[in-house]
Chain A
Amino acid sequence: MGKKKQLATCKVSILNRLGLHARPANQLVRMAARFDAELTLIRDDLRVNGKSIMGVLMLQAEQGAELMLEAEGIDAERLLEAVVQLVADRFNEEQPGEVT
């Protein structure tokens, strides 16, 4: 492995009830910013930069939405693992009745 450039892709579906609204979107970009690799999120034919808060919000991914993830860079695989984990954890924020 070493410092080689990696290209990684995977698919996730959004689990938290309110979807990718402001707070989870914010968590996602803050986390992605800690990695070198570029992150692209794809929903149907809309491609956005995963490190752009407004880009992520533009996806308007609701609960159940399927997203394709693409990462490119030396830590691409680790980046995707982290994103998958965050999505699986429902962005640590399932609060019934909450509206943001």
Chain B
Amino acid sequence: MMERSLSGIGASQGVAIGPARLIAERVLVVKPRTIPLKNIPAELERFARAIEQTAVAIKKIQLKANKLTATHQAEIFEVHLSLLQDPMLVDRTREYIRTQRINADYALLQALQEYQKLFNELGDETLQDRLVDVKDVGKRLIEFIQGYKRTNPFKFQTPGILLAHNLTPSDTIHLDRNKVLGVATELGGIGSHTAILTRALGIPAVVGVPRLLASCSENETIIVNGASGEVVLRPKQKTIHRYTLKQQAIARFEHSLRPLVDLPAQTRDGKRIHLLCNIELPEEAADVKAIGADGIGLFRTEYLFLSKNKLPSEMTQATEYLKAAKTLKPLPVTFRTFDLGGDKLPADLVVEREDNPFLGYRAIRVSLDKPRLFKAQLHAILRASIHGNVRLMFPMISTLQELLEAKELLEEAREELRKKKIPFDEQMPVGMMVETPAAVMLSDELARHVDFFSIGTNDLTQYALAADRGNLQVSHIYNQLDPSVLRLIALTVKNGHAAGIPVGLCGNLASDPLATILLIGLEVDDLSMAPSILPEIKNIIRSISWRGLRALGRQALRLNSYEEVRHFAAQLLEQWVEEIPY
């Protein structure tokens, strides 16, 4: 057999070489059996139990999907849950069990087939998508009725490259990075679950490869090139050799970054830039120290409000915050008060559906509207402050009044603790996120009331360009390197520095190696990013000279388009940093 190359979409960079492991879909076998009359109640019970088990399984997936992706993808699971209550499916199945005296799985299969027939008669394409949902839920139900336990198909005995038609969110969650060398799938795009998760795990992956499974057999050697999107089947020795060299170059590069852990993030001419991490869970706090970061620039607190069914108490919160503060000590931990609303709302906080949730009831607006909830969090952060280097910041400030009100509530919270003789750090720095164009325009005024600014480029870009990056029709307008966003950043820095406060940046832009030199040129004082990217960013900073960068920053501000900025940034990077071998 000849060497052959298929191309797809590079989803997670890196090169993997290894034996193919094909994940086939399991075929369900459902046969009719007659159930004796006396066993009918037990059969109905078996069906009822399967429904419960399926509901639990769906909720689990939903929870993980919620964590991994934005709102809309997780929503389909709500429809799946409703399907489990659907009388056309459930009542009918029960009826068949009773009247035909047949086994539950066969009764269900009949109900499913009736559904399919109806849908086919109506013959609309969007309905066909819904039929996929019916089948998905039906399959799970049948598996539970039959007592079949889904094993983790990705538990390989020996390491290999996983090939599948498509990976569902529930599949990808099981990927073991020690056994799965690489991933290639027939479906999926750059924003798919597979792409997001493999990137997070650092597994090379290519998605959207047509006819992948048909072109490849189990155990054949294949190569996955996650940067180029190429999948090589049955590679010649020469090809394997070439890719092995590439793999080694990448490994050497990553290895070369390792000694950086103990070195400070400073330019060749001695300008120190603070590199911090954004984290979502307290467990991640330990990693922050291990990779040589200067602290946590953004500790998102939403998880506490979203993962449990009820709102967290002051003590629950204090325990979590304290853990992080102690772990990081003496490095700073910046807690951002909850940014709920928009697309994230706890179950307990019932809020009316909004026409424009991102222009609606969220973040500081919810906090000021629910002072008790807010103060419980302020108390908890204050309590933690005595045990480490704690900083606090408010999200989504768009008016001076909001900031003053938030600070007033903070002062009340301090006073309440003083009365109870609970110690806290009286000097705890208090800052705010700059993530609305309004805050940028008022930043000279706002800067007089806070100890630091942190620019949130994700929201700032969305609000400045009035483009939702989740909306495919306009997402091309959403660019954090847009000249308008750069100017907003520059103005914030200027006003912050004029008032004598440091200005950091904690949006996605801080995690983009392309942007690093520009941001330093714009005089941003610290960058807070995803922990995985920090060594690479530190490497860039240690390769550059601070002298002359400000002039380059000003030059960038005069560029006319996102493309020009990108090109400019890429040239800067090339000039200073050795080629990255991906």
A97 near B89 with CB under 8 A, answer no
Contact A97–B474 (Cβ < 8 Å): yes
Q: In chain A between 35 and 63, which residues have their CB closer than 8 angstroms to a CB of chain B?
A: 49, 51-55, 57-58, 60
| Per-position 1/0 for B211-246, Cβ under 8 A of A | 000000000000000000000000000000000000
Closest A-chain residue to B471, C-beta based?
A97
Contact pattern, A 16-33, Cβ under 8 Å of B = 1, otherwise 0: 000001110110011001
Query: Which of A67-75, A77-85, A87-95 contacts its partner?
Result: A87-95
Contact B118 A100 (CB under 8 A): no
- Give the distance in Å from the alpha carbon of A94 to the alpha carbon of B473 in the complex: 18
Q: Is B76 a contact partner of A54 (Cβ separation < 8 A)?
A: no
Q: Count residues of chain A with CB under 8 A from any CB of chain B.
A: 27
Residue in B83, B88, B353, B471 whose CB lies within 8 Å of A92: B353
Contacts of B352 in A (CB 8 A): 92
A93 nearest CB neighbor, chain B only: B353
Residues A49 and B88 in contact, CB atoms below 8 Å apart: yes
Considering the complex, give the chain B residue whose CB is closest to the CB of A21: B126
Contact B82 A30 (CB under 8 A): yes
Q: Contact at A97–B468, with CB atoms within 8 Å? A: yes
In the bound complex, CA of A53 to CA of B122 (Å)? 16
- Is the Cβ of A26 less than 8 Å from the Cβ of B473? no
- B357: chain A residues at CB < 8 Å are 95
User: Is the pair A23, B75 in contact by a Cβ cutoff of 8 Å?
Assistant: yes
Q: How far is the CA of A60 from the CA of B125 in the complex (A)?
A: 11
Which residues of chain B from 389 to 412 have any CB-CB distance to chain A below 8 Å in the complex? none
Instruction: Find chain A residues with CB under 8 A from B126 CB.
Output: 21, 60
Given known contacts A22-B75, A97-B473, A97-B474, A53 and B82 CB-to-CB distance under 8 angstroms? yes
Give Cα distance in the complex from A33 to B91, angstroms: 14
Q: Which residues of B contact A55 (CB under 8 A)?
A: 86, 88
Residue in B118, B471, B474 whose CB lies within 8 Å of A58:
B118
Residue of A nearest to B75 (CB): A23
Q: Which residues of A contact B124 (CB under 8 A)?
A: 60
Residues of chain A within 8 A (CB-CB) of B89 are 52, 54
Contact B83 A95 (CB under 8 A): no
The minimal Cβ–Cβ distance linking A61 to chain B, given in whole angstroms, is 12
Cα distance A33–B352 in the bound complex, in angstroms: 20
CA distance A92 to B115 in the complex (A): 29
- Cross-chain contact B79 with A52 (CB below 8 angstroms): no
B82 surroundings in chain A (CB, below 8 A): 26, 29-30, 53
What are 22 contact pairs spanning A and B, CB under 8 A? A22-B75, A22-B130, A23-B75, A25-B79, A26-B82, A29-B85, A33-B85, A49-B87, A51-B87, A52-B87, A54-B86, A54-B89, A55-B88, A58-B118, A60-B122, A60-B127, A93-B353, A95-B357, A97-B468, A97-B474, A99-B471, A100-B75
Task: Name B's A-contacting residues (CB within 8 A).
Answer: 72, 75-76, 78-79, 82-83, 85-89, 115, 118-119, 122, 124, 126-127, 130, 134, 352-353, 355-357, 468, 471, 473-474
Q: Could you tell me which A residues sit within 8 Å of B by CB distance?
A: 21-23, 25-26, 29-30, 33, 49, 51-55, 57-58, 60, 91-100
New contact pairs (7) apart from A25-B79, A52-B86, CB-CB < 8 Å? A21-B126, A29-B82, A29-B85, A30-B82, A53-B79, A53-B82, A98-B471
